[in-house]
Amino acid sequence: MTLPFPALHASHSGVWLADADGVRELSRGAAIRAAADTPVILLNAPLVGQRLGHPELSGLDLLELYAFLFPARFIVPTPAGIARACALPVPASDGEIAAMLRAAAIALLDMAGGDWPEREGAWTAGQSLARARWPWAPVVGPRLTKPATAERWLFSKLPEWDEAAPRPAPRTVQVDEDAVLTRLHALTGAGAEIRAGQRSFATTVAQAFAPRAMRDTPNMVMAEAGTGIGKTLGYLAPASLWAERAGGTVWVSTFTKALQRQLGHEGARLFPDAAERKARIVTRKGRENYVCLLNLEDALQGGFAGRAAILAQLVARWAAYTADGDMIGGDLPGWLPQLFRRNGSTALTDRRGECVYAGCPHYRKCFIERAARASADADIVIANHALVMVNAARGREATTRPTRYVFDEGHHLFEAADSMFGVALSGAETIEVRRWIMGPEGSGRGRRRGLAARLSDVASYDEQGGIAIGEAVEAARALPADGWIGRVLEGQPFGPIEHLLAAVRGLVFARDESGGVDAGYGLETELAEPDPALIEAAAAAAVALDALLRPLVVLGRRLEAVLSDAPDWLDGQARARIEGAVASLGWRADMVGAWSALVARIGGPADPDFVDWLAVERYEGREFDIGIHRRWLDPTRPFADAVLKPAHGVLITSATLRAGGDWDVADARVGAPHLIRPPLHFEAQSPFDYAGQAQVLIVTDVKRGDLPALANAYARLIVASGGGALGLFTAIRRLRGVHARIADRLAREGLTLLAQHVDPIDTGTLVDIFRDDPASSLIGTDALRDGVDVPGRSLRLVVMEGVPWPKPSVLHAARRLANGGKDYDDRLVRARLAQAFGRLIRRADDHGAFVLLSSACPTRLLTAFPAGTPIRRVTLDEAVEISRGLAIAATLGQENRETA
């Protein structure tokens, strides 16, 4: 077949158009005019539009067509990725890429005319997409054969979950050393190399699964296992053995999605049969990660318009084939919502806590409820630190709460607890509570309903409950409403909370000492010596918050009374809905209570357990939130109370658990001092030959703050290594400045530069692209410093812009004062350096250099790197030559590496 549409490809080195007459290079202006005159075939329209300087560029995006044809299948969204998916030769030049895009469109459309695994539902979805004016619909529609019988649509196709009897409590068992080693041998395989460090790790961490001897005192093991030890299988061996023998569930918690995916893959070693594996290993995430079927139905029935309606149809196609309904880190391609500028994707998840549980017509097919029930009967539940803490602090699943935890990436527990147990009385937080209570206001559309609508049957049955609902709705009117930020900026706040936020903003700007140097970024000041305006506003806000808290507490009690003295109409579904409402009310009441405590502190004495401050949040000069913030000085205290003390066994492990200090420091960062019994400590050094595989180069002649010099250093190092570089920044502004200066320069060398916070691509997909192309480089911020696993030649150079000193915030200053001053800073920096260095050597045949662009890196920080790693202070010229030598060596092979 032939297509009348041209294909447009834009890179940092130019723009090319391919049509029936061949391929030609265009100017950016000519390319924009061509795209306006006729539909053009594109690959990732937002990215092409950004490179052309025309963000609203649209056309026939091949990624949208692929997502329609093959929902729940991931491809790397690059020319090489689409070429491989279409069984086409990978193009070698920009001109060839443009021609390949036309060929890929033809190949995909040919597939649409045939038979493929995801064919069911395509014709029906195609009709809906045509009504939504999807650009591909006129081309795809004629190629889809109308089915002889009506297709099963999403809500009839999804299976229902079944209720089951509660699982008995785990039996008391002892996991012996021989059994652990036998299980470990089975997991690693008969032909695998026997690693002494892994065996010692497995037998030691098994002690976390011994019977508990004292209440509120878990068997706690803290194990630092260097990269390459094989700690994942090392702890899965005793964990799976205990789960099997005790009939219990072990929750394995991570900080990054990358490790969650890795654990999912390792599960195939435990349970090779896919059906058994699905039943015995379950991945759990927060509710906001899963598609909400009720929200999706609303979007499909007219709740979304324009491009958002097209996204809803593509998500519905995916929902019919997804393994778990996870929109954030599951099998929905991370690049799909980005194609729609995230227009509407967040509205398809349950982000506001408005779930009506059994009141939802899709309750028995809900992905969230399915995962919750599956996890109750699973052997291994793969979760994340935030979900573990949320479930422990305010979860609905009290009867199935786990007693054994494995916290991998345990060095992140402090920051996860810091976020979870913090409080923010801000415009963004309060307006969400208003919407949750009052429902839609004005002309707002959607299925969102307030308390009165969600609990109408309770209000009609229980008079006091109905009165409490009415009082809560009335009190919620004191909270900020839509447009609050504009009113505050104009000096016309409405209501006591908006007046409070206005007073906060006034005091923050009055005490700003930056002199406007960071005019585009947020401002903050201590909550100390408040002015009369803030004290007066706080008094009025306290009254308003108390008026809101009282009916919420009363309503929670009335709902519990309805459950205990069940009326005739309270069937199983109604009970589940009210139980869900009780949990949501408890969470919201706790939040409002914390706000009240925070406001009461204004003008009074400070609480030594907390750090309080005022902040104005800004992004690129635009104010988007204002608030009062409170964090625990030591957030591991509430973590220990909510998670550690109720547990029977806890393993906390990481490759950098002690980075920056000794075991006392590591203990303090995870809450161990708050337990009666001290933890067992274990250490296993990495088996890698860091002396022969890695180098640390400290560049001494790049001046701090000199952006052109910084950009030049990054460009020269990346060119010398031939790509394969991971660049780490501590500030988004400098990252963008460097990218703007070097992206075109690298493109002329045939090297792709990917950039977090610049490219309209999610971070996970950026890492996938980086891993897929050894000639590409990736620059980013903190999210790339840890949890990025890119072994092999794709990552052979790590470059940090400078010593990663902590940001001098109010919170950091308080913790610094309480934890040793300069030594506390040094511990944090060493931890960050160790985590960044850990990206470089991931397996035994990896080689590379870690470059720190710092003219004055203190020697005391260099203990962050593994013992034996060569560390040299060099000029940029020397670092470039060393990087070039390493690149040459990588192509020569091991036998010539030392000579090179």
* Choice among 37-41, 336-340, 341-345, 862-866 with the minimum mean pLDDT: 341-345
Euclidean distance between CA atoms 91 and 854, whole angstroms: 39
115-140 tens-digit pLDDT = 899 999 999 999 999 999 999 999 99
Least confident stretch, 149-163, 287-301, 370-384: 149-163
Q: Which amino acid is at 21?
A: D
Query: With bands split at pLDDT 50, 70 and 90, how would you rate the model's confidence at 583?
Result: confident
Nearest to 728 by CA among 778, 768, 780, 796: 780
Model confidence at 784, pLDDT cuts 50, 70, 90, reads confident
Classified as helix, coil or strand, 568 is coil
Longest dimension (CA), the chain: 86
Give the span between the Cα atoms of 630 and 423, in whole angstroms: 5
pLDDT in tens, 399-444: 678 999 999 999 999 999 999 999 999 999 999 999 889 887 765 4
Element (H, E) at 695: strand 694-699
Give the mean model confidence (pLDDT) for residues 453-463.
76
Residue 900: which pLDDT band, with cuts at 50, 70 and 90?
very low
Q: Is 338 helix (H, G, I), strand (E, B) or coil?
A: helix
pLDDT of 782: 81
Q: Which pTM does this prediction carry?
A: 0.91
pLDDT category of residue 569 using cuts at 50, 70 and 90: low
Give the tens place of pLDDT for each residue, 480-498: 999 999 999 999 999 999 9
Res. 257 pLDDT band, cuts 50 70 90: confident
Look up residue 54 and give its two tokens: 């025309």
Instruction: Tell me which of 89 and 351 has the higher pLDDT.
Output: 89
Tell me the mean pLDDT in the region 282-292: 90
Q: What does the pLDDT look like over 618-661, one tens digit per residue?
A: 887 789 999 999 999 999 999 999 999 999 999 999 999 987 67
pLDDT at 891: 66
Residue 603's pLDDT is what?
86
pLDDT reading at 352 higher than 90: no
pLDDT digits (tens, 9 = 90+) for 791-811: 888 899 999 999 999 988 999
Both tokens assigned to 481: 């409403």
For 223, other C-beta atoms within 10 Å of its C-beta total 26
- Give the integer Cα–Cα distance in Å for 356 and 373: 17
230, pLDDT greater than 80: yes
Alpha-carbon span 508 to 521, nearest angstrom:
13
265: buried, middle or exposed (CB in 10 Å: 19+, 13-18, 0-12)? exposed
What pLDDT is recorded for position 895?
Answer: 46
Percent residues over pLDDT 70 in the chain: 95
As given in the structure block, the two tokens for residue 170 are 């785990």
The per-residue pLDDT for 175 is 93
pLDDT value at residue 894: 44
Of 557, 396, 545, 544, the C-alpha closest to 469 is 557
Rounded-to-10 torsion of CA 751, 754, 755, 759: 120
Q: Kindly state the tokens that stand for 876.
A: 């940029």
Beta-carbon contacts of 513 under 8 Å, excluding residues fewer than 6 positions away, are none
* Helix (H), strand (E) at residue 22: strand 22-26
Is the model's pLDDT at 889 over the cut of 80?
A: no
pLDDT higher than threshold 60 for residue 893: no
pLDDT digits (tens, 9 = 90+) for 3-12: 889 999 999 8
Q: How far is CA 866 from the centre of its chain?
A: 29
Q: Over the chain, what is the mean pLDDT?
A: 90
The pLDDT of 570-597, averaged and rounded, is 84
| Contact call for residues 217 and 675 (beta carbons, < 8 A) | yes
Question: What are the counts of helices (DSSP H) followed by strands (DSSP E) for the chain?
Answer: 36, 23
CA–CA separation, 635 and 779 (whole Å)? 31
Q: Given a cut of 80, is residue 353 above it in pLDDT?
A: no
**Residue 388 in contact with residue 416, Cβ under 8 Å?**
no
